[in-house]
Amino acid sequence: LAGNALARAYAGVVQALLWVIGALLIALALHTRTRRIKVRNRELEHRIAERTVELEAANLKLTKMAVVDGVTGIANRHAMERALMRGWQRCSENSQPLAVVMVDVDHFKQFNDCHGHQAGDMQLRRVAAVLAAEVSGVDELAARYGGEEFVLILPGVDGEVAGLRAER
């Protein structure tokens, strides 16, 4: 009887040890899996961060392309229209004048036909540089309207001053 009780006690201890070992193995497996998941998450977060930087750079490039004329490097018509609306709104709210100067390069088509499009583009860039140099302040804008037409938006500038600047 005593041997039987001892055998049952040993069996209970062995069974308890097996349960503890089983629980430890499960805990170890869970810990290992959790570590792998954390490592994988860090790798994914790193990839996401890299992609985010790439996307922000691409977005900046697209934004610039959307508002900058590809030939002249100054604002394009879309940017000019937005700036004109903003300028109109601000000037009307503040009871200030708003001048818009339109520049049309005379005989440009003949120049292009005679000297070629590359030379014409170079001349457009020169005109754009002269107009861009005339812009002062953050609200003023020089833009290519289309073809050989350019616009200066001059918020807060009256007609007389705008005429002098246009002549210059």
CB 111 within 8 A of CB 119: yes
- Select which of 43, 45, 93, 148 is catalytic: 148
Known active-site residue 148? yes
If one counts every other C-beta atom within 10 angstroms of the C-beta of residue 161, the result is: 13
For residue 166, count other CB atoms closer than 10 A to its CB. 15
Percent of residues in the chain assigned helix, strand, coil, to nearest 5? 70, 15, 15
* Residue 1 token pair: 């009887």
Do 143 and 74 form a contact (C-beta atoms < 8 A)? yes
Catalytic machinery residues: 148
